[in-house]
Amino acid sequence: MPEVRVKGRDGTEQVLDAAEGTQLMETLRDSGLGVDGTCGGACSCGTCHVYVSAEWSARLPAKSEDEAMMLEALAEYVPLREGSRLSCQIRLEREVSGIVVEVAPAVE
């Protein structure tokens, strides 16, 4: 079972257990961390934006063109960082157990 280390918008840090093969967005949403995942993982809403820690960012697959475009559109509303990703595009497998993320500010 992959483990996710997450810092919420309120600064609280916690460790979550996730079902292998699921999207990070689902784990964050189901844990009540304010991640909506409005589009259900279709990479079209940006409500699952997270900041992946530098140590993990390079270990993930590259952003798709769709993800990069969605993040670019989000830049008008929330700050982007080097590790900005859409959590719906991160599949939780054994190889990413221990991933460290911070939930990005909500789009207002």
pLDDT in tens, 9-52: 999 999 999 999 999 999 999 999 999 999 999 999 999 999 99
* Count of the separate structural domains present in the chain: 1
Query: pLDDT at residue 106 above 80?
Result: yes
Q: In this structure, what token pair is assigned to residue 28?
A: 């964050």
Q: Is residue 61 part of a domain?
A: yes
Query: Percentage of the chain surpassing pLDDT 70?
Result: 100
- 44, part of any domain: yes
Instruction: Tell me, yes or no, whether 65 lies in a domain.
Output: yes
Residue 53 resides in a domain:
yes
CA–CA distance, 50 with 68 (Å, rounded to integer): 13
- On whether residue 68 sits in a domain, the answer given is yes
Rg (CA), the chain: 12
With beta carbons less than 8 A apart as the criterion, state whether 99 and 26 touch.
no
Burial tier of 91 (Cβ tally within 10 Å: 0-12, 13-18, 19+) = middle
The confidence band for 107, taking pLDDT boundaries of 50, 70 and 90, is confident
CA–CA gap between residue 26 and residue 50 (Å, rounded)? 13
pLDDT in tens, 56-69: 999 999 999 999 99
Does residue 103 have a pLDDT over 90? Answer: yes
Domain that includes residue 76, residue range:
3-103
Task: Check whether 108 has a pLDDT greater than 80.
Answer: no
Domain membership flag for residue 88: yes
pLDDT beyond 80 at 97 = yes
Residue 77, in any domain of the structure = yes
Q: Give the pLDDT confidence score for residue 47 in this predicted structure.
A: 94
Q: Does a structural domain hold residue 108?
A: no
Rounded CA gap, 24 and 12, in Å?
Answer: 18
More confident residue, 63 or 107: 63
- Which CATH number characterizes residue 59's domain? 3.10.20.30
